[in-house]
Amino acid sequence: MAEFHMNDPFCSVNSVDLSDHVVSVELAYGSETLDVTAGGDAVRNFIAGLKTITCSVTFNQDFAASKTYITLYSLVGAAGTAVSIGADATASISATNPRFNFTAFPSSLPLVTGAVGSAMQISVPFIGQTDITVATS
């Protein structure tokens, strides 16, 4: 069994590589659960509904050109943004280092956060709009 060390996560938003600003990332893939219980059923019955994709990335905030603020600000609530997430930005894409690609939009964007003396980090939630494609080469 292989174990993984998260050292250099990959994150690209709207074709801009923001990997050097990523503090943490969580990409979740799920399905809605629909209750189809009917009269006479002794237990609840469920079926799978639509897929759900949620992604949260914590970035070190940066207001410079082609960095977090400039890249993400205009995308809040805008449909059709390409997002790519991977576990290792420096290793080649492979079956053991896949890239997860999907279309999403950031549902909110913290602009200024933090306390005096702390790093300014922003947690950005992305809502998936298309299914995930997995690149392995």
Q: Is 4 within a domain?
A: no
What is this structure's pTM? 0.88
Per-residue pLDDT tens over the stretch 1-60:
567 778 899 999 999 999 999 999 999 999 999 999 999 999 999 999 999 999 999 999
Residues spanned by the domain of 21:
10-135
In this structure, the number of other CB atoms found within 10 A of the CB of residue 86 comes to: 21
Q: Is 3 within a domain?
A: no
Count structural domains, the chain. Answer: 1
The CATH number of the domain holding residue 72 is 2.30.110.20
Q: Is 27 within a domain?
A: yes
Per-residue pLDDT tens over the stretch 62-102:
999 999 999 999 999 888 899 999 999 999 999 999 999 99
Q: Is 122 within a domain?
A: yes
